[in-house]
């Protein structure tokens, strides 16, 4: 079974649409994250939740809203999609909060490639 799974794997949509990416982890971890990887392979943290509580909220447009119904799930909802939102979005989890600097303790999902046309 995949430890951190995110869906969909690919998402192609038009500007202005609203879309969601789902993430689930079956590792029993307390903390989950969303990262954005841009075209230059730069991976930047967006949000982190610990046991359903928001603990990291980087400078991200308000159009991005994470939702954590329970500690095993962290979904990312994006309103009014823009061209610049095109990227690969990675979900990750860890037993405890390990940002910044301890990325080796993160378990990553396989990524969601979002293309905004």
Partner 1 sequence: GDSVTQMEGPVTLSEEAFLTINCTYTATGYPSLFWYVQYPGEGLQLLLKATKADDKGSNKGFEATYRKETTSFHLEKGSVQVSDSAVYFCALCEDNDMRFGAGTRLTVKP
Binding-site ranges for partner 1 (CB under 8 A): 2-5, 37, 40-45, 90, 92, 99-101, 103-104, 106-111
Nearer of residues 81 and 106 to partner 1, judged by Cβ: 106
Cis peptide upstream of residue 24 (ω within 30 degrees of 0): no
The DSSP bridge pattern shows strands 10-13 and 53-57 to be unpaired
Of 57, 66, 55, 63, the C-alpha closest to 96 is 55
Nearer of residues 106 and 116 to partner 1, judged by Cβ: 106
Q: Which residue has the tokens 């949509």?
A: 13
Minimum separation from the CB atom of position 15 to partner 1 (A): 27
Nearer of residues 38 and 53 to partner 1, judged by Cβ: 38
């Amino acid at each position: 079974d995949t430890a951190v799974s995110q869906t969909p794997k690919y998402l192609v949509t038009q500007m202005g649409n609203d879309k969601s990416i789902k993430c689930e982890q079956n590792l029993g971890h307390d903390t989950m994250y969303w990262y954005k990887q841009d075209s230059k392979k730069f991976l930047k943290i967006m949000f982190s939740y610990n046991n359903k509580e928001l603990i990291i909220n980087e400078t991200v447009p308000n159009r991005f809203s994470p939702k954590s119904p329970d500690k095993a799930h962290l979904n990312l909802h994006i309103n009014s999609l823009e061209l610049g939102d095109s990227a690969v979005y990675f979900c990750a989890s860890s037993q405890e909060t390990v940002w910044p600097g301890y990325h080796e303790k993160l378990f990553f999902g396989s990524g969601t490639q979002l293309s905004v046309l």
